Structure 1
Amino acid sequence: MNKITSKFGSEKISKLLLKQAIPASIGILVMSLNMIVDTIFVGRWISVMAIAAITVVLPIAFLISSIGMGIGIGGSSIISRALGKQNIPKAFEVFGNQISLTVALSFLFVFIGTFFCFPILQLFGANGDIVFPATEYFHVIIWGVPFLAFAMMGNPVIRAVGKPNYAMFTMIFPAISNIILDIVFIKIMDLGMFGAGLATSISYAVSGLFVLWFFLSKNTELKIVPKYFKINISILKEIVALGGITVIRQGTISLLIIILNYTLFKYGGEISIAIYGIINRVMMFALFPVLGVTQGFLPIAGYNYGANDSKRVKETIKTSILYGTGIATLVFIGIMLFPDQLVSVFTDDKELLSLTPNALIIAFLATPVITTQLIGSAYFQAAGKAFPALILTLLKQGIFLIPLVYILPKFYGVNGVWMSFPIADILSTLVTYLYLKKEIRLNLN
């Protein structure tokens, strides 16, 4: 048994969580900074409509790449539990099936995206002046998506085998590449949206190739072994049951984006979509440490659940929620104190500067409570309990946020959209807390 992964079952939980969460947080931070810088560059060097175009296109790319993410998270849950039971052959077979599934499905969806570009963009809210820059951007980044899907698949597996620093690099290297290439292609070469898309697509390739290098060259418990590429139906079903949660969640987010973009365009025009683009980037950046704690939680909880150590599983849940809530509270305070300064980083457009800070404050009002919802849904995924994991994962974006985004603007206009976010956070957190409390009482005592 590898000494690194065996520490999941013996080392102090708080120390383990920091070892896993800090690299994950740094990786998410750098990727978030990358997307923020990307938004700043296109907003300042191209146009305000370029921000709106990216806001429309990226959810499509992330929907396709979420196939890899879902396969990665679903498979890594099985791998973590297999390692906890010291079942190394099963871990290898699961990983081989993950690779085959990711490659086949990501290229299939790229083919669909390429030949149905315009109707897909329209579906996701490309209207008015947004259509041309969105189309130009989409045509380029679609070819980098298979690399992104492979990287998304490999990232949670790298964490599952106890190498969180390398998982961090899968996010840092493409982010740095994208920032450098943005400067070259947009600022120096003046390639506009084509240059922005080219920089993003190449950065996806950097990430995917790094993950490929890791599993071919590093000394880990898992390697790329072609004989395991053959699909095993029972393993495939288990991967799909758990990984499908992530794909359905991303699909729900994409549906939410469609509804958001149409609602924002209806009640506030293109400028409201640009406002949401800025809010979305701030969300990705500000919450990076909370998401890092959630990612750090998964392999520790999965390993100890596989080892039938319910005491350590409960301690992992408690410690993760405590750390995440403290961080989320600090984030909330920072946003409430400096909304204008945050918005001014992205744009010097007077209309955006006047409208976005208030929207930002409203959207972040429930930030201190979100960790319970994130850890609660992650626990059920780590434990291999697909149905409750699916329901809890869909609570915020699907069950609560989509209806709220549709209903509230009828009464409060564009502000109704921003109000939907904290209301959905509070409701989903409450339900998750009750569900998790029952699970601990019945199955972890």
Structure 2
Amino acid sequence: MAKVNSTALGQEPIGKLLIKQSLPASIGILVMSLNILVDTIFVGNWIGPTAIAAINVVLPVSFFIAALGMAIGIGGSSIISRALGANDSSKALKTFGNQITLIIVLCITLVILGLTFIEQLIPAFGGKGEIYAPAEIYYRIVLYGVPILALSMMGNTVIRAEGKPKFAMIAMILPSIVNLIADYFLINVLDLGMAGAAWATTGSYVICFLYVLWFFLSKNSELKLQSAHFRLDLPILKEISSLGFVTLARQAVVSITYLLLNNILYNLGGAASVTVYAIIGRMLMFALFPVLGVTQGFLPIAGYNYGANNPSRVRESINKAILYAGVLALVVFAIIMIFPESIVAIFTTDKTILAETPSAMRWVFAALPIISLQLIGSAYFQAVGKATPALLLTLTRQGFFFIPLILILPKYYGELGVWISFPLADVISTIVTGIFLNKEIRKNLVPKTALPIEE
């Protein structure tokens, strides 16, 4: 694999660069999403539909701790991209070292707390009745591997910040392949049930970490750490925290929505309704892969060129990222609207789930074609180090609009109120993001013009 220097982020044509950065990210997210989908299919067919609901209950807790790694990764990577753009390698190295130290301390602490309060957390996230026992088995095993996942996710964002998306793609593909193979042997061949599914997932985290570790120890990385770089630096920690808090807040709100939705749906329709949401949630992860890939590819381009004081390239990257992501979202939208019954049939043969899920899925994905503006808009502010607007825009959909909607509408419309809350929140948050982004472009991303020649 040819060695690529980060300076390419400031030199190559934006369209070509965006494709080069986004395609590996999209492939990586696609494989990871397929892994989650197939994992759910295996669990649903080999263990049962209740097992799907059990995994859905555990996800908010494990995802939140893993998101801590992503938060520190994206927050630090924003600094690293801008530092590399400004030729400040010292700050890039200090930032990377501080990211590693911070993740190790925080994640181990959270895992200890997560295991201590297991009996309170699982029921709080909807793991009640028949769902509790399989959820507890899965939770205990997966939680041990979450700090390793957090380190891997942080490392993946730094790899991308260096302008090496192909390596980041491989880091996402490897654990997905391992997980699927391990699922087959541990669940289907050895008949280990939920424990087998959990150990397969944890083992995949370890493989991902080993690959990321190899990358940074090899000649492929520009970031060669020394012991001094791991010493916590307060100004860098503050910058990582302020920018990373955007991602962490997003995942915290996602975890809260999982908690609320699992409980609301369980009260409305029991375990079957929780399973319907679990299947739709997997499809959300999968269907958004091209849009999320463009967003991931956009981040280092915007950050590097902002750090290099090149507003015209930043503005162009925004416009093209929204265009590319929007077209891809429209294609996915069409597939979801036309084939929801066939999609649901892949996960289960349960007649109740097959009857209820397609209609709900259509509602949840109704506003998909416009979501690219919301994602790229909030990602821009994070990429250029503007933590406050990034945080506010990130929280608009899930926090400011979606949570109030799911607390109010189900009282009047039952389960339908839950499903229509999704597109309503998407539309409102996209409008708000568009207003903020347009104002930012007009104010701070005005293309440079040549000075008039004096006669």
TM-score category, normalised to shorter length: over 0.9
Task: Specify the code of the residue in structure 1 equivalent to 2:212.
Answer: V
CA distance in 2, matches of 1:72, 1:310: 24
Asked if the contact 1:27–1:169 (Cα under 8 Å) also holds between the matched residues in 2, the reply is yes
Where 2:103 maps in the other structure, the secondary structure is helix
CA distance in 1, matches of 2:383, 2:297: 11
Report the counterpart of residue 17 of structure 1 in structure 2.
Answer: 18
- In the TM superposition, residue 438 of structure 1 has moved relative to its aligned partner by 0.4
- In the TM superposition, residue 223 of structure 1 has moved relative to its aligned partner by 2.4
Where 1:408 maps in the other structure, the secondary structure is helix
Report the counterpart of residue 28 of structure 1 in structure 2.
Answer: 29
Task: Specify the code of the residue in structure 2 equivalent to 1:258.
Answer: L
1:98 maps to 2:96: no
Report the counterpart of residue 321 of structure 2 in structure 1.
Answer: 320
Asked if the contact 1:81–1:304 (Cα under 8 Å) also holds between the matched residues in 2, the reply is yes
Report the counterpart of residue 62 of structure 1 in structure 2.
Answer: 63
- For structure 1, list consecutive stretches of 5 or more residues without a partner in the other structure: none
CA distance in 2, matches of 1:35, 1:241: 30
CA distance in 1, matches of 2:224, 2:426: 40
CA distance in 1, matches of 2:332, 2:260: 27
Q: How does 1:268-307 map to 2 (within 5 A)?
A: 268-307=269-308
CA distance in 1, matches of 2:218, 2:112: 31
Task: Specify the code of the residue in structure 2 equivalent to 1:296.
Answer: G
- In the TM superposition, residue 78 of structure 1 has moved relative to its aligned partner by 0.2
CA distance in 2, matches of 1:438, 1:174: 41
CA distance in 1, matches of 2:351, 2:266: 19
Report the counterpart of residue 201 of structure 2 in structure 1.
Answer: 200
Where 2:152 maps in the other structure, the secondary structure is helix
Report the counterpart of residue 420 of structure 1 in structure 2.
Answer: 421
Q: Please give the per-residue CA displacement for 1:87-134, whole angstroms capped at 9, x wherever unaligned.
A: 011100100000100111111111111111111112211111110000
Q: Please give the per-residue CA displacement for 1:293-332, whole angstroms capped at 9, x wherever unaligned.
A: 0000000000000011000000000000000000101111
Q: Please give the per-residue CA displacement for 1:134-158, whole angstroms capped at 9, x wherever unaligned.
A: 0010011011101100011111100
Q: Please give the per-residue CA displacement for 1:6-49, whole angstroms capped at 9, x wherever unaligned.
A: 11111100100001100000000001000001100110000111
CA distance in 2, matches of 1:409, 1:403: 11
- In the TM superposition, residue 226 of structure 1 has moved relative to its aligned partner by 2.2
CA distance in 1, matches of 2:78, 2:443: 22
CA distance in 2, matches of 1:342, 1:179: 19
Q: Please give the per-residue CA displacement for 1:395-437, whole angstroms capped at 9, x wherever unaligned.
A: 1111111111111111110111110000000000000000000
CA distance in 2, matches of 1:165, 1:219: 11
Report the counterpart of residue 54 of structure 2 in structure 1.
Answer: 53
Report the counterpart of residue 443 of structure 2 in structure 1.
Answer: 442
Q: How does 1:1-400 map to 2 (within 5 A)?
A: 4-400=5-401
- For structure 2, list consecutive stretches of 5 or more residues without a partner in the other structure: 447-455
Where 1:136 maps in the other structure, the secondary structure is helix
Asked if the contact 1:77–1:302 (Cα under 8 Å) also holds between the matched residues in 2, the reply is yes
CA distance in 1, matches of 2:65, 2:219: 28
Report the TM-score when normalising by structure 2.
0.96
- In the TM superposition, residue 213 of structure 1 has moved relative to its aligned partner by 1.3
CA distance in 1, matches of 2:19, 2:64: 30
Asked if the contact 2:24–2:166 (Cα under 8 Å) also holds between the matched residues in 1, the reply is yes
CA distance in 1, matches of 2:224, 2:395: 33
CA distance in 2, matches of 1:153, 1:224: 15
- In the TM superposition, residue 3 of structure 1 has moved relative to its aligned partner by 6.0
User: How many residue pairs align between the two structures?
Assistant: 444
Asked if the contact 2:60–2:259 (Cα under 8 Å) also holds between the matched residues in 1, the reply is no
CA distance in 2, matches of 1:247, 1:287: 19
CA distance in 1, matches of 2:26, 2:395: 23
CA distance in 2, matches of 1:224, 1:175: 28
CA distance in 2, matches of 1:44, 1:18: 37
Task: Specify the code of the residue in structure 2 equivalent to 1:90.
Answer: K
Task: Specify the code of the residue in structure 1 equivalent to 2:65.
Answer: I
CA distance in 1, matches of 2:247, 2:224: 24
Report the TM-score when normalising by structure 1.
0.99
CA distance in 1, matches of 2:226, 2:182: 34
CA distance in 1, matches of 2:246, 2:224: 26
CA distance in 2, matches of 1:246, 1:400: 18
Where 1:345 maps in the other structure, the secondary structure is helix
CA distance in 2, matches of 1:170, 1:413: 42
Where 2:222 maps in the other structure, the secondary structure is coil
Where 1:190 maps in the other structure, the secondary structure is coil
- In the TM superposition, residue 208 of structure 1 has moved relative to its aligned partner by 1.5
Asked if the contact 1:216–1:224 (Cα under 8 Å) also holds between the matched residues in 2, the reply is no
CA distance in 2, matches of 1:208, 1:121: 27
- In the TM superposition, residue 183 of structure 1 has moved relative to its aligned partner by 0.4
Asked if the contact 2:378–2:433 (Cα under 8 Å) also holds between the matched residues in 1, the reply is yes
Identity %: 56
- Root-mean-square deviation (CA), in Å? 0.9
Q: Please give the per-residue CA displacement for 1:342-367, whole angstroms capped at 9, x wherever unaligned.
A: 11111111111111000000111000
CA distance in 2, matches of 1:246, 1:408: 27
